[in-house]
Structure 1
Amino acid sequence: MALATIVGAGADAGSVVFRWCIQTFTRLFSGHADYAASPGSGHPRLPWLGPYFVLLAPVLGGLLYGPLVNRFAREARGHGVPEVMLAVAQRGGRISPKVAVVKTLASALTIGSGGSVGREGPIVQIGSALGSTLGRVATVTEGQMKLLVACGAAGGIAATFNAPLAGVFFALELILGSFSTEAFGATVLASVTAGVIGRAAFGDVAFLDLPDFHVDHLAQYGLFAVLGVVAAVVGVGFSRFLYWVEDACDWVWRGPEWLRPAVGGLALGLVLLVLPEMYGVGYPVLEKATEGGYAIAFLLLLLVGKMVATSLTIGIGGSGGVFAPSLFIGATLGAAYGIGVHDLLPGTAGAVGAYALVAMGAVFAGAARAPITAVVILFELTGEYSIILPLMLAIALATTVSRLLSRDTIYTLKLRRRGVDLDGPAPGARIGAQRVGAVMEPLPSPLPSSIGLSEAAHLLSLSGHGALPVVDEAGHYVGVISAQSVAEALSEQPETAPTRVAQLTEPPAPVTVDQSLAQALHTLLSAAGTGVPVLDNEHGRPVGWLSHQSALRAAHTASSA
């Protein structure tokens, strides 16, 4: 807990430095605090160039961050979150400390010179690198190391966006991929610490100034539901387009990698010249869209332009996040949708801004498939409880449709394209590639669901297993009972405690004979006992038993071979 607090404070310090770097480089390259707030204007110190300076800014920025990333930390390229997810899933939470420094400079240079990316990916990677470094210094266990990495991510999100709850759920939902009391407590401490210091540094205001949200008519929920489905399609489309552009850049470029951002910056400069609203993160444009400040045609142009500019920034080797672009795309989509339904149903549709806000969360949920984070961060941005119901509806539908359309999210797709499966074995690992059927043990004698707990306790104590399978009166498998649950039940008052095995039986997540051991380990490690039944593929009947010991024997066999 003490280390989590320190990591939260460190992530906030990193956030302060990072935001200062972005502001400094933005003023240096554009002459404005945020060029997106005055698109099309010239550089105050280069008036003879007029708006054409945007052709040179990405090139100069690329000449600076290209060699920096290529020489010192290539993992700082791109949007950062996938690298943190990979470090937690397959590298024991180990992240090089130099990533924090290189990511800060590279991302600030990318955004300041016109790169159309967000700052959440960099600050997650920066905070996570700080957490990993502290974990190595303190010589913590691997589990604690992963937790400190998540604390760094939570603290970074909380400080950067003044959204402490979103920081917690971002870390749990995307970085750790699981929820536990210990993880929740640690990430909350880190997020609160970062949030308190961040509010002292940046003020107690949300990073976006969004309009009030109101639902004026029950029929609007149907419109929000349709918007959630559309947002899912757009979110998945953004993910695919992002990597299609990256593939195109890889195919075109044949020169040294350190020069790629500078040469590619010419193409990005052309996009910024045509659509200067794409310069940097673009929060002023997003806010104006939520206020209904643009016509439908221009909103759709902004939507497509953001997809192109963000994808091109990442494709040429830029460093920055995709969370803010997802919000931008959602805001323009929702505003265009809101104007359209308002013209069709003027007495029912309600305010345009409501659709823009809901679509922001729904597009992010469709792209990242992180529904809890999407709901919480939009709630923290608006501070209005009335947003919850329509937001939850749209985000739930967006997440479901996204899952039907794509196996991967915008984060995991990057890793899978590199041949990395977060649920599979790490490359070169001695355990994980084997099939469960090849390493499982014989199935222990099952317990009838009708026997009492005292008899079950006796049989569990003789079995040598911390859990046993359970069958009903017809001999059909119904689940597993653990020694822990039986001991807890026997310690309760007789009047309220369960009396039969059937009352404590729970079916664990299915593990099948043809499943890889790496995938089955996730179920085994989260199981209440020391093992789980292995089911056949056709009928779902238990045919073997996977325990921690059998998994370790598989590792020993692999090393001996």
Structure 2
Amino acid sequence: MNLRTIKLKLKRNRPLKMVVLSITVGVITGLVASLFFLFLEWAKAIIFDGILGLKLASPPGEHIISDDNLIHIKTTLYDRIFSNIPQSLLIILVPGLGCGLAAYLVRRFAPNAAYDGTSALVDTFHNKRAKMKLSTAFTKGIASIITLASGGSGGKEGPVAQVGAGCGSYLADKLKLSVKERRVLFLSGCAGGLGAIFRAPLGAAITAVEVLYKEDFESEAIMPCVIASVTSYSTFMLTFGSHTIFNLGEVESFEGFFHIPSYILLALTCSAIGAFYVKFYQFTKEFFIKLKIPTPIKPVVGGMLTGLLALIMPYALGDGWGAIQEVMDGNLTLGFIALAVIVKIVATSLTIGSGGSAGIFGPSLFIGAMTGGCLGSFLHMQFPDNPMVPSITAFVMVGMAAFFAGVANAPIASIIMVCEITGTYNLLAPLLLTSAFSMLFNSKVSIFKPQVLNKFESPAHKGDMTVNILQEIQVGEAVELSQKIKTVEATTMLGQLSQLVRNTEQHIFPVVRQGKLIGIANLDKIRTVMFNQDTYSMLIVADIMEKSVVLKSNMTLYEALGKFLNDGHLELCVVNDDNEVISILRYQNLIEAYHKGVNLHNYDKEDSLHAPI
């Protein structure tokens, strides 16, 4: 089987084509995510350990550089060179320089990339036909590595997903696929990037299709996203193994009604802090936009302020995920955890809001985990050994899902994602409960500004939502089947027809023989002949009739419109299966039925959008 035959088969079999393309995108994004992760971890080691002299914990699933190598880096760089500079000064300056350099790269090579990683994906899908330049995606990826490695507060998941989506879009353009197919590959690339970097193939696939909308999801892309995500995850596993990011150990099971009050309280807390997080992030972004200093200086200021916060709370730097494992293990105090929540909200807003390049996905999980840990620690201090209070680990895990569900309007994705990155489904019931409550309390909040309500609101689906009203209405619904139609026999003299015309508003007269339609007499075309006295007794209707274009009552008005346009008449005969005339459809009937259908469709749509819960 040659290449040409394969291409032909794929062209004819769309499901097979999408499977092959999804696998291809998955392999590509798996390799890209592996390189991104590798470069980022080594860059962080060089800057954090070698330049800043900081040793921050990392979760077990992301500890890929040996302790010996980290010690060697610190000894070679920090101890010999940078230890002569005050460490506090380095912690302030390095994030500022990193954010400034990253912002410069984005302005220089990807000037249209105005959003953080995930928001950029949502915006490109809805408003840019899922068309993303590969150079833009890779520029954002490199800029994000610089931002995060230098200590900027943000996540790596959004940028990796953006690079993956860019690969999918590029492949679709090279293969000259349709816009619809490009959107599917775009989301498949996004799912592939997330599936690899999170080690969460199903959660990544659901995230890619759910995060686009507040109350909807991109159903057509689910299976391609699953295929791409699993393939990408498998590719990533070849280098970094299959272990989960966090190590929970044994997690207590859900105790039903005993635990429900605690989890509802957690949902309320996550909702309140989530709403504050979104508002503060948006406020900070607006503040830096209006700040009257040169644009290139803004991310430097944001980065330096983040470094200043790191002097108070070291986990303000980077994604801070090492602290999540620490709080799960019970190694952090209540005061430290509470401070981490506030500092991370401010640090992330400063880094990204000032123009730094990073994702907002990762910090959301951090803040949710710390919120859960804070509430859990507080309740355990107030009610020690109380069976109604779940473990701190359970609070941390459930807090991650509840917080992200509220700020991102992605409850299903957050539940599955958290289960996969922690390696357990033991707490599925409280995850469902808290995510539902969090969504309910924060229904009008979204950290991703380009998110739209549903497909009706998305420019990507305007063509899909332009309903062909005429296709939904049958001819029999637009005419009065009971109306009395004037027909004439083929042998009728022209003089008799002229008498009939005076007593009706019909423009065409069906010509019949033994009750069967054989043609029409069109008044507009025979008027000059019909009223000529010399022809009254010389011609019969059969002499002046023309071929009839007929409709049937079960035809659609869309088909009828085509016949009207081709035939040029303002009236067409409607016949039954025996070719007997049962009615006449006027063009005016069609227009009236169309307007009635449009009004009904708009009413149904408005009713569905504003129906009470």
Query: Above 0.5 in TM-score?
Result: yes
In structure 1, how many angstroms separate the alpha carbons of the residues matched to 2:244 and 2:553?
55
Q: Map 1:111-122 onto structure 2 (within 5 A).
A: 111-122=148-159
Superposition pairs for residues 312-327 of structure 1, below 5 Å?
Answer: 312-327=350-365
Further displaced range: 151-160 or 239-248: 239-248
Aligned to 1:37: 57
1:298 to 312, 336, 344: 336
**Structure 2: 5+ residue runs without aligned partners?**
1-18, 59-70, 478-550, 560-594, 609-613
Shift of 1:395: 0.7
Question: Residue 17 in 1 paired to residue 35 in 2?
Answer: yes
* Secondary structure of 2:217 counterpart: coil
Question: Are residue 360 (structure 1) and residue 400 (structure 2) matched?
Answer: yes
CA distance in 1, matches of 2:48, 2:119: 30
Query: What is the CA–CA distance in structure 2 between the aligned matches of 1:372 and 1:540, rounded to whole Å?
Result: 26
* Compared CA separation, residues 141 and 430, structure 1 to 2 (3 A): closer
Q: Measure, in 2, the Cα distance between the counterparts of 1:384 and 1:230.
A: 24
Q: Distance in 1 between matches of 2:83 and 2:283?
A: 37
Question: 402, 422, 432: which is aligned to 1:392?
Answer: 432
The whole-number CA distance in structure 1 between the counterparts of 2:144 and 2:455 is 25
Q: Is the partner of 2:379 in helix, strand or coil?
A: helix
Give, in whole Å, the separation in 1 of the partners of 2:471 and 2:414.
45
Q: Which of 531, 534, 556 is the matching residue for 1:463?
A: 556
CA displacement at 1:73 relative to structure 2: 0.4
Q: Is the 8 A contact 2:411 2:439 kept in 1?
A: yes
C-alpha separation in 2, matches of 1:57 and 1:354: 36
C-alpha displacement at 1:376, in angstroms?
A: 0.3
Question: Does the 8 Å contact 2:191/2:205 carry over to 1?
Answer: yes
Partner of 1:350: 390
Q: Which runs of 5+ in 1 are unaligned?
A: 449-457, 467-512, 514-529, 542-561
Structure 2 CA distance for partners of 1:535 and 1:288, relative to 1, 3 Å: same
Whichever residue aligns with residue 410 of structure 2, its letter is: A
Choose from 148, 170, 183 the match for 2:185: 148
- What corresponds to 1:172 in structure 2? 209
Asked whether the equivalents of residues 99 and 357 of structure 2 are also in contact (C-alpha less than 8 Å), the reply is no
1:440-480 CA distance string (max 9 Å, x none): 779947999xxxxxxxxx988323369xxxxxxxxxxxxxx
Distance 1:362 1:17, change over 3 A: same
Match of 1:308 in 2: 346
Per-residue CA deviation, residues 473-493 of structure 1 (Å, 9 max, x unaligned), is xxxxxxxxxxxxxxxxxxxxx
CA deviations over 1:164-219 (Å, ceiling 9, x no partner) = 01111011212485343x52221121111101111111111112233432136431
Q: In structure 2, do the counterparts of structure 1 residues 459 and 398 end up closer, same or farther at CA, with 3 Å as the change threshold?
A: farther
- Give the 3 Å change call, closer, same or farther, for CA 302–390 of structure 1 in structure 2: same
What is aligned with 1:49?
85
Match in the other structure for 1:89: 126
Query: 1:414: how far off?
Result: 5.5
CA RMSD of aligned residues (A): 3.5
Q: Deviations over 1:115-164 (max 9, x none)?
A: 11011110111000110000000000111000000000110011101110
Q: Give the number of equivalent residue pairs.
A: 455
1:405-420 aligned within 5 A: 406=444, 408-411=445-448, 413=449
**What corresponds to 2:61 in structure 1?**
none
Letter in 1 for 2:23: T
Q: CA deviation at 1:384?
A: 2.1
Q: Per the alignment, in what secondary structure is the counterpart of residue 20 of structure 1?
A: helix
- Does the Cα contact within 8 Å between 1:35 and 1:279 map onto a contact in 2? no
* CA contact 1:81–1:124 (8 Å) conserved in 2: yes
The amino acid of 2:398's aligned partner reads V
Partner of 2:266: 227
TM (norm. structure 1) is: 0.74
Q: Measure how far apart 1:432 and its partner are.
A: 12
- Aligned-partner SS, 1:56: helix
- Write out aligned runs for 1:263-278 (5 A): 263-278=301-316
Report deviation, 1:8: 0.9
User: Which letter maps to 2:56?
Assistant: A
For residue 74 of structure 1, give the secondary structure of its aligned residue in structure 2.
Answer: coil
1:534 to 601, 606, 609: 601
